[in-house]
Structure 1
Amino acid sequence: MKKLLFATVLISAFFCFTAFQCNENEDEDDFENEKSEISTMQSQIINLANSSICNDTTICKYIGFGSKACGGPKSYLIYSTSIKTDSLELLVKTYNEQEAAFNKKWGIISDCSIVNPPTDLICENNTCKAVY
């Protein structure tokens, strides 16, 4: 009887360990997949912003980009009105929300320093540049 009880406990412990091991691997996969999606979106947004040009008929702008775990933007994205700014701004809003949710879900920490926005924007060689 004791051997049967011991075997049952041992088998149960094995299955519990295996189940938790799978959950840890799934969590790690979820983390990496979500991180990859956010990184891909970040690259697309940066490429779109970098495709903008400035000249006499466009305006240079900036928008808070990314989400620090403590709150606030990670940086400021510089772009001009030569591109579809509504689309860019919506992408950035979505990206910021997804990164904030990712940070909260996975317990991401960051420094809580405040990133200051540019004090001015200038057009130099058809590219918007931030002045700090």
Structure 2
Amino acid sequence: MIKTITIGLFFSVGILIVNGKITHEQLSSINTALTTINQFENKCTTSSDCLTEPIGARACGGPGGYIVYSKTSSYVEYILSLAKLTTKLGRQYNEENSVISICTLAKQPIAVCDKNHMCVAQ
């Protein structure tokens, strides 16, 4: 069910983007989808199950942030695809809209398995 929803999201976002400029709402929708999918199976046994992936794009370069996810999730390929999409479209949005942002690098967090067996940023 979730995989069907995700595939539908890819196609609907792709159609909207092909037909015009990227909107802030489209970027927000992709980020929401990424967060939602990540929450389904973000479980871990040890911190070695937890990884980070850059997301979004700052106008001066570099990622807008990072997502912490579990490498044991059956949704890893979707998480990574959406993360890459947020970066690509974030760059495009910044260029199309002449966005100005802070020029500091987002610090990559350390991904750990917390006491509730969830991957979180430390």
Query: For the superposition of Structure 1 and Structure 2, which TM-score range results when normalised by the shorter chain?
Result: 0.7 to 0.9
- The AA in structure 2 aligned to 1:53 is N
What runs of 5+ residues in structure 1 fail to find an aligned partner? 1-29
Task: Note if contact 2:50-2:69 (Cα within 8 Å) is conserved in structure 1.
Answer: yes
- Structure 2: tracts of 5 or more residues without a match: 1-19
Structure 1 window deviating more from structure 2 (76-85 vs 100-109): it is 76-85
Contact 2:41 2:75 in 1 (8 A): no
How much does 1:89 deviate? 0.5
SS at match of 1:46: helix
Question: Sequence identity, in percent?
Answer: 24
**3-state DSSP class of the match of 1:91?**
helix
- Aligned-CA RMSD value: 2.0
Structure 2 distance, partners of 1:88, 1:80, is: 10
Distance 2:41 2:101 in 1: 30
Q: Deviations over 1:53-79 (max 9, x none)?
A: 323388111101110011111111011
Report the Cα distance in structure 2 between the residues aligned to 1:127 and 1:44, rounded to whole angstroms. 19
Cα displacement (A) at 1:86: 1.4
Tell me the residue number matched to 1:74.
Answer: 64
Aligned to 1:44: 33
More helix as a share of residues: 1
Displacement over 4 Å in runs of 4+: none
Structure 2 letter corresponding to 1:74: G
Aligned residues: 100
* Paired position in structure 1 for 2:94: 103
Structure having greater relative contact order (Cα 8 Å, sep ≥ 6): 2
1:94 Cα deviation after fit: 1.3
Amino acid at match of 1:71: G
State TM-score, norm by structure 2. 0.73
Q: Which residue of 1 aligns with 2:10?
A: none
1:35 corresponds in structure 2 to 24
Q: Deviations over 1:53-112 (max 9, x none)?
A: 323388111101110011111111011022321121011111210111010011011000
Q: Distance in 2 between matches of 1:53 and 1:38?
A: 22
Q: How does 1:50-129 map to 2 (within 5 A)?
A: 50-56=39-45, 59-81=49-71, 82-118=73-109, 120-124=110-114, 125-129=116-120
SS in 2 for 1:116: coil
